[in-house]
């Protein structure tokens, strides 16, 4: 649409960019990672971290 003024293209670009950023932030922060709750892995990690090899 060549009849559209350049300020119209700029405002559309800004609106869509802000909407894109907000959409990505909502998707990023809505994800809650689950941590493994195994007691064996935490126990071996603590023991291994105390044993120095050098």
Rg over CA atoms, the chain: 25
Q: What is the pLDDT of residue 45?
A: 55
Instruction: Give the DSSP letter of residue 4.
Output: S
Helix, strand or coil, per DSSP, at residue 19: helix
Q: What is the pLDDT of residue 16?
A: 97
Rounded to two decimals, what is the model's pTM? 0.50
Q: What is the pLDDT of residues 2-54, one digit of tens each?
A: 666 777 888 999 999 999 999 999 998 887 778 777 655 555 555 556 666 66
E strand intervals along 1-54: none
Q: What is the pLDDT of residue 33?
A: 75
């Amino acid at each position: 649409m060549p009849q559209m003024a350049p300020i119209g293209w700029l405002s559309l670009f800004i609106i869509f960019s802000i909407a894109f950023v907000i959409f990505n932030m909502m998707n990023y922060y809505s994800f809650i990672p689950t941590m493994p709750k195994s007691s064996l892995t935490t126990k071996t990690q603590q023991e291994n971290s105390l044993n120095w090899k050098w």
